Structure 1
Amino acid sequence: MIRSRVATLGVAALFLAACGGNTQAPQKKSELSLYNDKGAWSKYFDEMGALSKQQISLGMKPVGYTDSAQYQAFIKASFRTNVKPDLFTWQTGGMLEEIVKQKQVADTTSIWQEAIKAGDLSQDLAPYYTVGGKQYCVPMNVAYWGMFYNKKLFDKYGLQPPTTWDELVKVAETLKKNDVKAFYHTSVLFSFVWFEQLMAGMDPDLYDRLSTGKAKYTDPGVVQVMEKWKQLIDAGYFINPGDKTDPGDVMKNGKAAMISFGTWFNTSMTQRDLKAGTDYGFFAIPNVNPALPKTSMIFESGPLCSLTKAADPDASQKYLKWWTTQPAQDKWATTRGDVSANPKVTIKDEALGQVTKDAGSGKYRLVNRYFEATPPPILTAALDGFSKFVTEPGTYKEVLDTIQKAADDYWSTHQ
């Protein structure tokens, strides 16, 4: 998951270390620091730290950021200074590959081999963590993307979770007639959500080709995705993309009836004392193209990593190994009301448990989330472009041209 504003103390410490240096010999640690871009999850990290202290005599203290760009800058700066996180969160795809190639990330191949053998991790997850035939990091979380919906609004207007795209549009139209905005979207950071969802639901093969430079953002199929997106915006189904209301509050107060996010968003619901099945629900988003053999479902997995030059590499590796086990994952999933990367964990929320089971059984075509599937330089241009588009939908061709220029620059040296 992506989130994030940097912890001031972390920045201060970084620059002090850069200036002053540190000549102390490495020491064995009894508590590890876990730097992360999920500041809102500090409570859950604290609980995991207390549990690890009990179970493996190794505590953990989170250092949470709430600004993604500043967090990434800090982690990359730590490669060159003496202030190094014992553990840190990151993204898979191009961002993980980038720092692995810089030889900054500790190899976790043996952890993966043991966890797969023990049934604590699925072999299907391994490719997302594999660079050059070896595994790096372990899954901090997994998430399947679908639609969270305000059940009370649905009940009020006699609506049911749709099973086809046409039904979804009819739901949106009914809500519109009753002066309720159907969908949430935003012009910051998560501006890519509807692009990935529409493209995966219209032509997932094109989506995959686009992420590997085998298709262009100016291709007719991509233009059609933007035109479909524009139709939905022009129809008045979305809230103002500049609205700064937290998505969790948008759902709670009914400002929008539906929000497309990963299953991790369930934590925002539980934090607001909302009850699954009573206050809200979750459904898989139907394909736009009904002829596709499987429903496309966006998938992501967020890594938990350690550095090659961690202060206590053995302790960091010990913690990563523990994190994958069922006792750890039972706690991690239960406290947040989310799903788990460990197949042995029982998901209490019925809807999330079902989608996890279905995804694992092959019912859906899993599509790597755009944020991880897209190389970072192209992603930067795309996020800016989609942010412009949601506020000025008529600019979609200009936006695609701009993204493609960034793609041409990148793939000219990376094919």
Structure 2
Amino acid sequence: MIRSRPLLIAAVTSLLLAGCGSSGGTAAQQPGKTELKLYNDKGAWSKYFDEMGVLSKQQIGLSMKSVGYTDEPTYQAFIKASFRTDVKPDLFTWTTGGRLAEIVGQKQVAETTAIWQEAIKNGDLSADLAPYYTIGGKQYCVPLNAAYWGMFYNKKVFDEHGLKPPATWDELIQIADTLKKKGVPAFYHTSVLFSFVWFEQLLAGTDPDLYDRLSTGQAKYTDPGVVEVMKRWKSMIDAGYFNNPGDKTDPGDVLKTGKAAMVSFGTWFNTSMTQRGMKAGTDYGFFVIPNVNASLPKTSMIFESGPLCSLAKAPDPGASMKYLKWWVGAGAQEKWATARGDVSANPKVAIADEAIAEVGKAAGSGEYRLVNRYFEATPPPVLSAALDGFSGFVAKPETYEKVLADIQVAADEYWSTHKQGD
């Protein structure tokens, strides 16, 4: 999972064998390492990480201390600097997709193939998740988290206006119209890091095949289907359905106070609600966002999985691998998922929140068409241009054609030196 700029991260953040070496084989654990430091871009989760450190000390004799960042550029700079300095994390969080492939290509990440093979064999990880962590036929890192994206909504606002979760896109728009007439912004959006959220949702819910082709360079941002999605997004902004994108209020507070009735995020946002003392089913709810295109055979659902990694040259490779193996086990994952109120990458773990548990079960059974989150699906240079473009668009929606053209310039440059379809 990504986290960025102080408040938004803390927001969105508040709202990703003892003995397996970097080659995926076995290696003796170095003596003397009894506490690991986990560097992460999820500063608001420090409490949960530290609780895991207490549990790991009890269960495997290795404690873990969180070193959390809330500014994404600063965090990424630190991790990349650790590749060439002596200040190296024992463990660190990252993102899958192009950014993971980049540092794996630089031979900076420890291989975890043996952990994956054992975990899949004993049912602690699903083989369906492995492709997100597979580069060149080998696995790297393990799942820090798995998350399904949908809509969190303020239940009290819905109840006050006689609303219920929609079954179709038209019903969702009817809800937005009702709220607008009552002076309540229907949806949260932002001009900061998560500016891509509505683009990915509208495109995946309209034409998921086009979404996939776009991420692999087989379609262009200037193609008619993409342009139509931007027009729809613009029409929603023009209709007054969204809050002010420049508002720096934590999204968790936005939903709690009813400054916007609905917030679209991954199931990890549940943690933001529980941290604010909100109760699922009483104060807030969660529903799957209906497709824009009702004729699609399955509802498109955005999916993400954030990795927990070790450096190839970690301070104590054996200790780091021991921790990663423990992390994916049912005992650790039960604690991790329950504390945050989220789904787990481990299929054995039961989820307390009924709505989220139901979504996780349905997604795992193939009921939805899972769509890789835009942040991971899009090559890093194209993503940078897109984030800048979408950030400008939400403030000036009339610029959508120029925004798409500018992103396509970055896409053309990238795909001119990379094989399309990869």
Interval containing the TM-score (normalised by the shorter chain): over 0.9
The separation in 2 between residues aligned to 1:27 and 1:320, in whole angstroms, is: 18
Aligned equivalent of 1:294, options 295, 298, 301: 298
Contact 1:5 1:71 in 2 (8 A): no
The separation in 1 between residues aligned to 2:158 and 2:107, in whole angstroms, is: 51
Contact 1:182 1:237 in 2 (8 A): yes
Contact 2:343 2:351 in 1 (8 A): yes
Q: Which residue of 2 aligns with 1:40?
A: 44
1:233 maps onto 2:244 in alignment: no
Q: Which residue of 1 aligns with 2:23?
A: none
The separation in 2 between residues aligned to 1:241 and 1:4, in whole angstroms, is: 16
1:79-126 residue CA offsets vs partner (Å, 9 max, x unmatched): 000000000000000000000010000000000000001100000000
The separation in 2 between residues aligned to 1:84 and 1:27, in whole angstroms, is: 17
Give % identity: 79
Contact 1:187 1:391 in 2 (8 A): yes
Q: Which residue of 2 aligns with 1:3?
A: 3
Q: Which residue of 1 aligns with 2:87?
A: 83
5+ residue gaps in structure 1?
A: 7-25
1:239-291 residue CA offsets vs partner (Å, 9 max, x unmatched): 00000100000000000000000000000000000000000000000000000
CA RMSD of aligned residues (A): 0.8
Q: What displacement does 1:69 show?
A: 1.1
Aligned equivalent of 1:59, options 45, 56, 63: 63
Q: What displacement does 1:70 show?
A: 1.0
Q: Which residue of 2 aligns with 1:22?
A: none
The separation in 2 between residues aligned to 1:54 and 1:3, in whole angstroms, is: 30
Aligned equivalent of 1:222, options 211, 226, 230: 226
Q: Which residue of 2 aligns with 1:93?
A: 97
The separation in 2 between residues aligned to 1:339 and 1:414, in whole angstroms, is: 35
3-state DSSP class of the match of 1:414? coil
The separation in 1 between residues aligned to 2:31 and 2:235, in whole angstroms, is: 60
Q: What displacement does 1:414 show?
A: 0.8
TM normalised by structure 1 equals 0.95
1:118 maps onto 2:122 in alignment: yes
- 1:332 and 1:172, CA in 2 relative to 1: closer, same or farther beyond 3 A? same
Q: Which residue of 1 aligns with 2:334?
A: 330
3-state DSSP class of the match of 1:55? helix
Q: Which residue of 1 aligns with 2:53?
A: 49
Aligned equivalent of 1:158, options 154, 158, 162: 162
For 2:103, give the aligned amino acid.
Answer: I
- 1:199 and 1:372, CA in 2 relative to 1: closer, same or farther beyond 3 A? same
1:10-29 residue CA offsets vs partner (Å, 9 max, x unmatched): xxxxxxxxxxxxxxxx7531
- 1:28 and 1:4, CA in 2 relative to 1: closer, same or farther beyond 3 A? farther
What is the number of residues matched between the two proteins? 396
1:354-387 residue CA offsets vs partner (Å, 9 max, x unmatched): 0000000100000000000000000000000000
The separation in 1 between residues aligned to 2:74 and 2:326, in whole angstroms, is: 29
For 1:320, give the aligned amino acid.
Answer: L
3-state DSSP class of the match of 1:183? coil
Q: What displacement does 1:5 show?
A: 6.1
Q: What displacement does 1:2 show?
A: 1.1
3-state DSSP class of the match of 1:260? strand
Contact 2:5 2:193 in 1 (8 A): no
5+ residue gaps in structure 2?
A: 7-29
1:303 maps onto 2:312 in alignment: no
Q: What displacement does 1:68 show?
A: 0.7
Q: Which residue of 2 aligns with 1:23?
A: none
Aligned equivalent of 1:282, options 281, 286, 299: 286
Contact 1:4 1:39 in 2 (8 A): no
1:263 maps onto 2:267 in alignment: yes
The separation in 1 between residues aligned to 2:37 and 2:402, in whole angstroms, is: 44
For 1:147, give the aligned amino acid.
Answer: M
1:211-237 residue CA offsets vs partner (Å, 9 max, x unmatched): 000000000000001000001000000
1:144-169 residue CA offsets vs partner (Å, 9 max, x unmatched): 00000000011111101001000000
3-state DSSP class of the match of 1:85? coil
The separation in 2 between residues aligned to 1:214 and 1:51, in whole angstroms, is: 47
1:107 maps onto 2:79 in alignment: no
3-state DSSP class of the match of 1:153? helix
The separation in 2 between residues aligned to 1:110 and 1:163, in whole angstroms, is: 43
1:276-317 residue CA offsets vs partner (Å, 9 max, x unmatched): 000000000000000000000000000000000001000000
